[in-house]
Amino acid sequence: MEMRKPSRGRPRSFDEDAVLDAVMRAFWEHGYEGTSVATLEAATGLKAPSLYGAFGSKELLYQTALERYACEHGTVLRPDGPAREAVSEFLNEAADRFSESGLPPGCMVSTAALALGATQRGVATRPARMRSETLAGIEQRLRTAVTEGELPTGTDVGALARLFGAVVQGMSVQAIDGATRQELRGLAAVAMAAWPQ
Amino acid sequence: MEMRKPSRGRPRSFDEDAVLDAVMRAFWEHGYEGTSVATLEAATGLKAPSLYGAFGSKELLYQTALERYACEHGTVLRPDGPAREAVSEFLNEAADRFSESGLPPGCMVSTAALALGATQRGVATRPARMRSETLAGIEQRLRTAVTEGELPTGTDVGALARLFGAVVQGMSVQAIDGATRQELRGLAAVAMAAWPQ
DNA sequence: TCAATTCTGTAGTGGTCGCTAAATAATGGC
DNA sequence: GCCATTATTTAGCGACCACTACAGAATTGA
């Protein structure tokens, strides 16, 4: 994205990747407004000017952390094989990831930025778009399953995609509330009963 | 709860109920951290000392607003009749309430206080308990349905209750993201396909 | 009318917010 | 060695945070 010519000048004294990982965890656990720059300083060991020099602003830092989360902890539908198995695996992987020990509970995207102060509504647009893309991805997968005969014609793929998306979002809420991995897996299992036929 | 002897002294110049309603909407839309006392002053037309005199603190005001929301906008399972219809009505009522025009989208409880700053984790305990009680209520209703023969013995009522709870929580997320009432109703409809048998 | 009581508005409190100017430190190019 | 460039540290910016001391206003009981 940005071209670096780091040969000149004083070199960075920190591992940008490790810092971004710590930032991601802080935002993941405490949200955008619940994470202050002082919190990020404590989590990374850096001072504010270093953070701003490397990442620009708190909002840009949040968005960068979001991208990192999507790449490293995100869940996507397996594009091949039966759609039913793909969705089932998707839900089970979410159940496992949302209850990973050593990481904050829940999902950094599914339940992110749902209530923000009026002055910073823009922060919510990227998480919202990511959720919307997840729904669209599920719907597209189901649509293909209909054309391939795996699902009956006339299936309301939009509503079904919203259902599985809601299951993931609800799992994130319940993980934050302390639900165990076993409980989330049970939730994922009974959700598959909504699969047509 | 509190005994009033309002005969003496200068009387209140505002309608406590109307003020609490405005406060509730502000917290509902912007969350606890996203709503400042200045925001509440603007929403109510009162000055801070009046708010503090009547309600104590921002946190107490939030909890009072939560109780008001539960009473006036909350959804409960109808205790009589078939459990299946009760759950179906429950989901449909949530779909309608979360997309009520003139009110903030989504639910003030289902997706509340999921990420707070470390210093005010206590604010989240009451919404979390309310969600937990909702899950327990669904589970109890399903358990009764099992003993009455409406659901097969061996039904995982815990997982099934978590599923319907997750559907409500996911509907709240999607309502905030702009889902229409029709879309939420479709979601509720396909969710009922997960009902055993 | 006076005193006691309660509420309202003014005007702040100390603290934290996101952010940054300026000085110092560490590198490469010459 | 010396300069240009970049990073880190110190120190602090104005704005906002939740909250409140205080004085004035409005009521009841006497």
Mean pLDDT by 10 residues, chain B (197 residues): 66 97 98 98 98 98 98 96 98 98 98 97 98 98 98 98 99 98 98 96
Per DSSP, the three-state class of A13 is coil
pLDDT at A147: 97
* Residue in A163, A168, A177 nearest the CB of B132: A177
Rounded alpha-carbon distances, angstroms, from residue A22 to A18, A101, A105: 6, 16, 15
Residue spans of alpha helices (H) in chain A: 16-30, 37-44, 48-55, 58-73, 83-98, 125-147, 157-176, 181-191
Can you give the pLDDT at residue A169? 98
Q: Sort out which chain B residues have CB atoms less than 8 A from A118's CB and list them.
A: 30, 34, 39
Return the pLDDT at B197: 86
The one-letter code for the residue type at B191 is: A
Q: Could you say which residues from 164 to 183 on chain A have a Cβ atom under 8 Å away from some Cβ of chain B? A: 165-174, 176-179, 183
Contact, B175 vs B105, CB < 8 A?
A: yes
Cα maximum dimension of chain A: 65
* A169: nearest CA partner in chain B: B170
User: Using one digit for the tens of pLDDT, what is the confidence trace for A100-154?
Assistant: 999 999 999 999 999 999 999 999 999 999 999 999 999 999 999 999 999 999 9
Report the distance from CA of residue A4 to the C1' of nucleotide C28 in Å, as an integer. 15
When scoring B162, B184, B185 by the number of chain A Cβ atoms within 10 A, the one with the most, hence best to mutate, is B162
Q: What is residue A161's predicted lDDT score, i.e. its pLDDT?
A: 98
Amino acid at B133: E
**pTM for the complete prediction?**
0.96
Hey, which residues 87-106 in chain B have their CB within 8 Å of chain A? 106
Q: How far is residue A131's CA from residue A118's CA, in Å, rounded to a whole number?
A: 21
3-state secondary structure at position A27? helix
Which stretches in chain A have pLDDT values below 70? Answer: 1-6
b/e map B92-105, b = 16+ CB within 10 Å: bbbbebbbeeeebb
